[in-house]
Structure 1
Amino acid sequence: MQLDLTGKSFGAREVLGALTLSVTRGERLAILGPSGIGKSTLLRILAGLDREYRGRLEGADRLAVVFQEPVLLPWRDAVANITLPTGCDAATARDWLGQVGLAGHEGKFPRQLSLGQQRRLALARAFAAGPDILLMDEPFASLDAGTGARMVALTAALLTRTGAGLVLVTHDPAEAGALDARALQLTGNPARLQKD
């Protein structure tokens, strides 16, 4: 995937300036920067969720997104929260639930799961989609330190196992390091990428 961005604005406010970003399967990138700098906006452009920008996005990579919130279907159980969005079968969904430590929770609804378990379910859903590149928007935010560290280690292991690439949006350099991701800093007004 390659993004050649000339700019992104919200009304008269220019949020992102000219930047180039490319990532391939197996490559790991982390976009660092303070809150409000445009990290999530950049990720939404990469995901194809925001098409109101100036520039060009190319690549036929299969993508999966893990958002800041788990974004689960509250009226469906854990298995259906994987099978419905990804199109995989129930056996594959159960396998991914096991891989993220949720074996035995297949029939539970999101409200019956802790926040950490909901985040694991969202991670299982993303990997069940078979992505070439996983896009993650501060997925470990609001988790306690221990749960967050376990989620980062789990994500690193799954990336290694599947060979998927990664674009992680975070304000925490330690997360980038733990995921062995090359750090890029988003700075300025409008924001541009700099190598960390």
Structure 2
Amino acid sequence: MRLDLTEKHFAERKVLGALVLQVERGQRIAVLGPSGIGKSTLLRIIAGLDREFSGRLSGEDRLAVVFQEPTLLPWRRALENITIPTGCDPALARQLMGEVGLAGREGQFPRQMSLGQQRRLALARAFAARPDILLMDEPFASLDAETAARMIDLTAALLDRSGAGLILVTHDAGEPARLGASAVTLSGQPARLQQAPPSPGV
């Protein structure tokens, strides 16, 4: 996957300036930056959800997205929340639910699950799509510290097992190292990518 971005506007405001971002299968990148800088906009462009930009997005990689909100189908049971969007076999969906700690909850509706469980279900759904590159938009935000730590470790294990690459959008400078990701920072007006400073103690 390669993005050669010239610029991105919202009305008259230029949000993103010229930048290049290239990620291959197995490679992990984390995009850091403050709220409102354009991190989620950049991820939406990469995911193909925002086509109103100047530049070129290329590559034949299969992508899957995990948003900050789980974006589940509330009228469908947990297992169907994996099989319907991805078209995967129910056996694979059950296997992934087991891997994320949701074995036995296949028949539950999202409203019957905690936020942490919903996030794990969304993670299982993403890996059911067998992505070459996983896109994650602040997926650990609003979770308590213990739940977030478990989610990060779980994500790292699934990435190791699948060999998928990663583009993570986050404001937490500690997350890239825990996921084995190289960090870059989105900064400036309009925002551009810069090398991130090393995390404390690294």
Q: TM-score range by the shorter chain?
A: over 0.9
Question: CA offsets per residue over residues 95-133 of structure 1, 9 Å max, x none?
Answer: 010010000100000000000000000000000000000
**1:75 paired to 2:56:** no
- For the residue of structure 2 that corresponds to 1:135, the secondary structure is strand
Q: CA deviation at 1:195?
A: 1.0
What letter matches 1:172 in structure 2? Answer: D
**Could you tell me which amino acid in structure 1 is paired with residue 82 of structure 2?**
I
Q: Which residue of 1 aligns with 2:154?
A: 154
Provide the residue aligned with 2:60 in structure 1.
60
- The residue type paired with residue 195 of structure 1 is Q
- Which contiguous aligned blocks of 4+ residues in structure 1 show a shift greater than 6 angstroms? none
The answer as to 2:28 corresponding to 1:21 is: no
TM-score, normalising length from structure 2? 0.97
Aligned partners of 1:90 and 1:122: how far apart in 2? 15
**Counterpart for residue 133 of structure 1:** 133
RMSD: 0.4
Aligned residues: 196
Listed as ranges, the gaps of 5+ residues in structure 2 are 197-202
How far residue 183 of structure 1 moved from its aligned partner, in angstroms, is 0.2
Q: Distance in 2 between matches of 1:74 and 1:179?
A: 30
Please give the alpha-carbon distance, in whole angstroms, between the structure 1 residues aligned to 2:24 and 2:173. 21
CA distance in 1, matches of 2:189, 2:80: 43
- 1:40 paired with 2:40, answer yes
Q: Point out where structure 1 has 5 or more consecutive residues left out of the alignment.
A: none
Residue aligning to 1:171: 171
Percent sequence identity is 73
Q: Which amino acid aligns with 1:149?
A: A
1:4 aligns to 2:4 (yes or no): yes
